[in-house]
Amino acid sequence: MDTFEAISQRRSIRKYKSEKVSREQIERILEAAVLAPSGKNRQPWRFIVIEGKKKDDLISLLFCSEKERKSKGVNTGSFSQTITAMNQAPVVIMVLNSYFDTCIDADGQLNHNRWLTDVQGIAAAIQNMLLTAQDQGLGTLWVCDIYYAEEEIRTWLNTENQLIAAICLGYANEKPFPRPRVSWKEVTDWLD
């Protein structure tokens, strides 16, 4: 599959088959992730692959957090639907920023430029993962709704790292139509 084909055929997948994803497939996806460019080649990404019983535990934790927040009247947006999709996926990969603490300057202020640079590198790694999965015939979902339960997840993972996203991985059990895009012509200015 050529690069543009992988880019144009990828869809966010929210329904998955129970079929297992092999260890080799996951390793290939992670191999692609760390080939992404990053500011000063800092490679700020970290990954935690969650499967099987641990994934069930994570889903229970997320549903509990969502229920608790809802009971307190907090708006949890699409979190519930996202957890349902995560529940179906046989693999969830947590993506973390291990350099966040180095972005806090001596005066306690966030070094915005460095942090934003690191996040862009991590996003590039995520896109590499999505496209490599696509190339392997796997479906993915890039998830940020996990921020609704950020502290609970970090405690559960026992990590100080900043939570960036979760990636669902598995064989698709749906064929979504392409979601609409604004043409590049409408979002591009040419200066010459």
Ligand X SMILES: Cc1cc2nc3c(=O)[nH]c(=O)nc-3n(C[C@H](O)[C@H](O)[C@H](O)COP(=O)(O)O)c2cc1C
Positions that interact with ligand X (CB under 6 A): 11-12, 14, 78, 82, 85, 141-145, 176, 179
* Min separation Cβ 85 and ligand X, Å: 6
Other residues' Cβ atoms within 10 Å of the Cβ of residue 189: 4
Q: Write out the DSSP string of 46-110.
A: EEEEEEHHHHHHHHHHHHHHHHHHHHTT---TTHHHHHHHHHH-SEEEEEEETTGGGGB-TTS-B
Cβ closer to ligand X: 24 or 117? Answer: 117
Which residue number, 163 or 192, has a Cβ lying nearer to ligand X?
163
Which residue, 53 or 181, is less far from ligand X as judged by CB? 181
Name the minimum Å distance from CB 147 to ligand X. Answer: 8
d(CA 96, CA 154): 10
- Give φ, ψ of 48 to 5 degrees: -130, 115
Q: Which residues contact 25 (CB under 8 A, 6 or more apart)?
A: 133, 136, 138
Q: Is the Cα torsion angle 98, 40, 145, 32 positive or negative in sign?
A: negative
Nearer of residues 27 and 81 to ligand X, judged by Cβ: 81
Find the shortest distance in angstroms from Cβ 126 to ligand X: 8
Least distance from ligand X to the Cβ atom of residue 186, Å:
17
The alpha-carbon radius of gyration of the chain (Å, integer) is: 18
Please report which residue ranges of 109-149 form alpha helices under DSSP H. Answer: 112-135
Q: At its nearest, how many Å lie between ligand X and the CB of residue 164?
A: 9
How many whole angstroms separate alpha carbon 45 and alpha carbon 121? Answer: 8
Nearest residue to ligand X, by Cβ distance, number only: 145
Task: Output the smallest distance, CB 165 to ligand X, in A.
Answer: 6
